[in-house]
Chains A and B, each alone.
Chain A
């Protein structure tokens, strides 16, 4: 770089302005300003060793595109991956609103300067409240994992006075979220894994009864489970949890809730999960954003650790404003005395999810849930025709994911997926590491945008993949 290089993002790198400002301060070099306060032995005495800059926008674009070109996206390959991140249809209006510079570049602006943003967030909460049939919805958390972690910590705080420290988690739990929970709750809880029926994956109620006690702080379920099936006995599990005084926490898939009952209506005290399916997109996992919902019960509201955006009347009849409420709950308000730490997480996705729910309405959400289930059901039927694989061995009702077990054909998931990849298909998520008892199994995912043609193609290639010679 030449000495007087002018950077397009830095107006005062232009010599005239820079000189005027330095003159106003009576300095001859900018380093005069910091040399007086940063000790010499802490100052870097050489330039940062970084690659040569690419200051021109076009050259930067060429550079970035040449790297991104090395990725093969789900637009180019057929995708059957889910496992906590789901490829759904994203309406153009969602992208348009999430891309608006007003929302994209806003931050902590509050009641007056950012009236519209505050309203959009409140509307997201309001629509989520309808979807979940709950009155209180939090600001978004980092992801479902954080929402689950915080929900469990809420239950621990609610049970603190009665020494309830045990968390009962499902044996089929999302392994990533389980890992997050173990870190987040270590030292304050004992994590116990509920036994499940090895044939169906569902919780073993008789064994659960023996695990529940006056030490149980919470019983947690994913419904649908990580492995795709619905826990049909969820209501009974909730009842058992409540009988011992434990909090019942359920994480649903929001895309199912147009046709599937909200956990709030089968006993859940806290409902939490991810809004990524709602008009956000995958973004290589960056589309995740968590939610926490509870009833209008001060005991529960007080324990929510993140921002709550509340509606407020003004002096004018019928006019509203919004603000962040009860901030003493949060670390921004009371530091180490707060419920938990929190910070900037995923606000833009709340706005996008709100747009999605408004576009879809009750009819769209019903169709979405029903279509996913029917397409999944269709896929299971078609795939079941393939010899030497076991499709949906756990059976029962499922939402959009199911297992294919490859043990009968003697191949590993890795081998199968390698073959599929050659045919431009991303096969299901390999479960053999996280769930060794399931053998060589993969978790396949179907959504409303998985077509019959695509399912037929998967069947076709899987048929070839399972044959001996494809090894």
Chain B
């Protein structure tokens, strides 16, 4: 497939704050009835002077067609996963988001539900939430699930709070203030542990690519509260010593939390509980097909053992054989993690996904994502200047962390340059690595099961082509992108200098006036 003529839409769309003109309106709200007008005073009389707004907000004044057009143009300048071969964004599991799920989520039967409605009026959505928990229990081997977190990192945090509550209950008086994680686990893990007050110990990978076992053993002590780990880590390497690691942490009284934000290569193949984990979490907006929505709304599903169930956030959802209901009568609960019940629409999509595929279908998804990844690696091995560091000859699961280090050394072209250049081929930006970059010039693709062989071939060919460009015409790559919605590189200092940073148009204009 050759997309030499690809060009992203480029509208040079002005900032909305500069559009429209005085007196225009984009939408009207209902008229006030005469009864209301007759019986009530206006805002100036209703509001005490100290609270009355003095100057109206300087929002744009625009008519509806112009607002719609502006945002449609901005949408065209965005490469969502539905538009591209979104293999580049590894660890994020950019799989197909079934369109029919959106139709379900748009139903007034969920969209127009108020979270405080009586239980008898929401039996349908409670059934979906409850059954999804049951399915996730089977998929993970865990004893209980909680779907209340509004994102993967929030579920990680919620797991840390459960861990904290557990130790406070069962290890009173002990000083368990350390959490161990690994450098190639998601940074939300050390972030969440530190937010909850824990000291973080980070294990580095050894030559095999796995976290250093000696370092783990040295880190374990009576101060160990727990372990937070991803497996496979960002490298796609499945750690076969995982049970040994879990047992070692248990032996000093710590709990083990499994970050399974990305479950995609393991459905039906291996389960968190079977490896001894006490807790895990799934991002339903990743492996379970709900869309990422420009970074949310999302859902982190939190799974725990029976022993830890009492600590889960409130409320629990129960079924008495006749009706579904919320249970707030849980004195050990860590309390609310998010208002109401998280994002039930996201759970609805995950429910639809699980029901569509069933057990065999989910395993098929895992197997095909592994097949796709290993096929992709075979194809990418043809790309000059790109390597697969760590654990030579060991199969990866659903994703891989590669390195452009040889190419950078030979051409001066970096992974960040290539990341910009891919847009000229119709791909959205790819994922290099979280910080710090343990593997130099990283690139982390993840070819989910929803990409075809032809997609993977096209994707591989693009990197082959860019590599050739880097060796022959490096400036072409270094000055990329050329065909993106924005094709001039930004002045990065605006994002790094706190005095130049402007998150609003008014701040920008004031800064410019000042200069």
Contacts and interface: CB of A to CB of B under 8 A. Distances in A.
A436 interface: no
A176 B340 CA distance: 8
Interface string A98-138: 01111111111111111111011111011111110111111
Contact of B125 (A49, A140, A284, A378): A284
B441 interface: no
A33 B370 contact: yes
Nearest to A373: B46
A107 B283 CA distance: 14
A11 B335 contact: no
Nearest to B179: A336
B496 A326 contact: yes
A217 interface: no
A331 B435 CA distance: 9
B293 A183 contact: no
A25 B52 CA distance: 71
Given A68-B110, A176-B336, A343-B154, A24 B358 contact: no
B345 A177 contact: no
Contact of B59 (A107, A110, A143, A358): A358
Contacts of B449: 9-10, 12-13
A87 interface: yes
B103 A61 contact: yes
A346 B64 CA distance: 25
Interface in A318-377: 319-327, 330-338, 340-351, 354-355, 357-371, 373-375, 377
B513 interface: no
A114 B191 contact: no
Contact of A374 (B46, B335, B352): B46
Contacts of B74: 116-117, 119-120
A468 interface: no
Contacts of A36: 394-395
Interface string A53-69: 11101001101110111
A108 to B, nearest CB: 6
Contact of B269 (A44, A84, A96): A44
A146 interface: yes
Nearest to B452: A11
A448 interface: yes
Interface string B16-37: 1100100111111110110111
Contacts of B498: 298, 301-302, 326
The residue in B13, B125, B153, B504 that gathers the most chain A C-beta atoms within 10 A of its C-beta is B504
A359 B59 CA distance: 9
B395 A37 contact: yes
Contacts of B505: 122-123, 126, 129, 311
B51 A234 contact: yes
Interface in B105-122: 105-118, 120-122
Nearest to B351: A64
Interface string B331-374: 00011111111111110100010111111111111011011101
A470 interface: no
A397 B47 contact: yes
Contacts of A340: 191, 195
Given A12-B449, A71-B123, A126-B505, A38 B339 contact: no
Contact of B112 (A25, A64, A104, A282): A282
B153 A344 contact: yes
B243 interface: yes
Interface stretch (A162-170, A253-261, A401-409, A458-466): A253-261
B372 A12 contact: yes
Interface stretch (A74-82, A196-204, A207-215): A74-82
A319 B489 CA distance: 10
B297 interface: yes
Given A114-B78, A336-B200, A362-B61, A321 B114 contact: no
Nearest to A180: B336
Contacts of B20: 361
A75 to B, nearest CB: 5
A11 B456 CA distance: 11
A312 interface: yes
Contacts of A83: 116
Contact of A48 (B83, B138, B356, B397): B138
Contacts of A342: 153, 188, 191
A220 interface: no
Contact of A364 (B29, B190, B491): B29
Nearest to B150: A142
A44 B268 contact: yes
Interface stretch (B90-98, B248-256, B405-413): B90-98
Contacts of A451: 30, 33
Interface string B482-515: 0011111111101110110111111110100000
Contacts of B94: 107
A7 B363 CA distance: 12
Nearest to B348: A64
Interface in A292-323: 296, 298, 301-302, 308-316, 319-323
B427 A113 contact: yes
A260 B48 CA distance: 9
Given A126-B505, A378-B36, A89 B339 contact: no
A145 B294 contact: no
B292 A312 contact: no
A133 B76 contact: no
Contact of A131 (B54, B57, B289): B57
Contacts of B76: 102, 116
A277 to B, nearest CB: 12
A73 B74 CA distance: 33
Contact of A101 (B83, B113, B188): B83
Contacts of B487: 112
Contacts of B471: none
Interface stretch (B65-73, B217-225, B301-309, B462-470): B65-73
Interface string B418-430: 0010110001110
A392 B50 CA distance: 22
B274 interface: yes
Contacts of A24: 375, 378
B161 to A, nearest CB: 6
A257 B493 CA distance: 34
Nearest to B185: A335
B58 interface: yes
A142 B113 CA distance: 19
A1 B267 CA distance: 17
Contacts of B265: 34
A268 B449 CA distance: 50
Nearest to A66: B124
Interface string A228-252: 0010101100000000000000000
B451 to A, nearest CB: 7
A89 B30 contact: yes
Given A126-B506, A360-B26, A11 B453 contact: yes
A114 B118 contact: no
Interface in B259-306: 265, 267-271, 274-275, 283, 285, 289, 291-298
Contacts of B47: 230, 259-260, 373, 397
A142 B271 contact: no
23 contacts: A1-B361, A42-B274, A48-B138, A48-B362, A55-B358, A72-B117, A104-B97, A104-B291, A106-B428, A107-B294, A108-B429, A131-B59, A286-B297, A286-B343, A315-B489, A320-B15, A335-B190, A335-B194, A337-B194, A341-B156, A341-B195, A355-B67, A451-B30
Nearest first, the 5 closest Cβ-Cβ pairs linking A and B are A331-B191, A343-B153, A285-B340, A53-B358, A116-B77
Given A230-B51, A323-B494, 9 more contacts: A44-B271, A48-B358, A99-B102, A106-B294, A115-B486, A142-B154, A347-B296, A374-B41, A426-B121
